[in-house]
């Protein structure tokens, strides 16, 4: 089934630990995104990549890093997790056509304790 | 500075009646507007979009209206069904650059 796969689906992480959230798409979309969703704040963009080999910072990039070695994969790394990074993380992709929507993964629920 | 605002955190509507979800924006350069629907424990899914050159787009029970002079768009769902209960996000973009998202409105359809 074409779409976006995120892993893990949920994780409890000790503060200070390093964690990588995985995201893989099979639609050959150029652009990929990482969002966090917090109650009352909607979706906030963490990092994005317009094409393989390039990345950019979104609205809330601090504490996170990304890489885009190929078209399909866009991992998000928390170098040293803090409790404020407790959130639901969504990966998305788009084919950059005018008016085209994003396809989202099912999300990763991360709790930092 | 929120460029896309959904001022109602929640909305409750009787089954069979019309649901109207509202969204306001500040950037007159936005040229595409989209609505997404999100169920708990799932990612948002695309629902309907509208180009800034139109004022209405319809898809089955869902219609989006755009009022550019008021910088306002709305999503109408008629008739509302229990499966419509979800969080609805409004989003906008300039020349298909990154989407700017509203905070979402939780729609509850009462039986």
How many Å lie between the alpha carbon of B24 and the closest alpha carbon of chain A? 15
Q: Does A4 touch chain B (CB under 8 A)?
A: yes
Instruction: Please calculate the CA angle A102-A61-A74 and round it to the nearest 5 degrees.
Output: 50
Q: What are the residues of chain B with a beta carbon less than 8 Å away from any beta carbon of chain A?
A: 6, 9, 32, 34, 36, 41-46, 49, 51, 89, 95-96, 98-99, 101-104
Provide the pLDDT for residue A103.
92
Question: Do B34 and A92 make contact, defined as CB atoms within 8 angstroms?
Answer: no
Predicted confidence at residue B1, as pLDDT, reads 67
The residues of chain B scoring below 50 in pLDDT are none
Q: Cβ separation of B44 and A104 shorter than 8 Å?
A: yes
**Residue from the list B6, B51, B98 with its beta carbon closest to the beta carbon of A99:** B51
- A107 lies within 8 A of chain B by CB: yes
Q: Residues B10, B21: contact at Cβ < 8 Å? A: no
Closest partner residue to A45 (CB to CB) among B42, B96, B98 is B98
Q: Which residues of B touch A96 (CB under 8 A)?
A: 96
Does A92 contact chain B (CB < 8 Å)?
Answer: yes
Per-residue three-class SS string for chain A = CCCEEEECCEEEECCCCCEEEEEEECCCCCEEEEEEEECCCEEEEEEEECCCCCCEECCCCCCEEECCCCCCECCEEECCCCHHHCEEEEEEEECCCCCCCCEECCCEEEEEC
Q: What is the pLDDT along chain A (113 residues), one digit of tens a residue?
A: 579 999 999 999 999 999 999 999 999 999 999 999 998 778 899 999 999 999 999 989 999 999 999 999 999 999 999 999 999 999 999 986 655 678 999 999 999 99
Q: Distance, in angstroms, between B88 CA and closest chain A CA?
A: 10
- Are residues A25 and A72 in contact, defined by beta-carbon separation less than 8 angstroms? yes
Q: Which residues contact B71 (CB under 8 A, 6 or more apart)?
A: B24, B25, B26, B28
Half-sphere exposure for B75 (CA within 13 Å, toward CB) = 28
- Contact between A106 and B49 using a beta-carbon 8 Å cutoff: no
Are the beta carbons of B27 and B90 closer than 8 angstroms?
no
Radius of gyration of chain A (CA): 13
């Amino acid at each position: 089934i074409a779409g976006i796969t995120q892993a893990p689906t949920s994780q409890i992480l000790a503060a200070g630990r390093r964690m990588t959230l995985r995201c893989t798409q099979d639609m050959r979309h150029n652009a990929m995104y990482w969002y966090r969703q917090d109650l009352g704040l909607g979706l906030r963009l963490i990092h994005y990549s317009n094409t393989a080999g390039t990345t950019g910072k979104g609205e809330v990039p601090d504490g996170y890093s990304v890489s885009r070695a190929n078209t399909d994969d866009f991992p998000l790394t928390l170098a040293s997790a803090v409790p404020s990074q407790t959130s639901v993380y969504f990966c998305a992709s788009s084919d950059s056509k005018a008016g085209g929507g994003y396809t989202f993964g099912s999300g990763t629920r991360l709790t930092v304790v | 500075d929120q460029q896309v605002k959904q001022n109602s955190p929640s909305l409750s509507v009787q089954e069979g009646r019309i649901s109207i979800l509202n969204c306001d924006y500040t950037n007159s350069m936005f040229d595409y507007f989209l609505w997404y629907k999100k169920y708990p424990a799932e990612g948002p899914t695309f629902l309907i979009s509208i180009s800034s050159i139109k004022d209405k787009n319809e898809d089955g029970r869902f219609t989006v209206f755009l009022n550019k002079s008021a910088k306002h768009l709305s999503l109408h769902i008629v008739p509302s069904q229990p499966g419509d209960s979800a969080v609805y996000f409004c989003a906008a973009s300039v020349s298909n650059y990154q989407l700017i998202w509203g905070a979402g409105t939780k729609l509850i359809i009462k039986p």
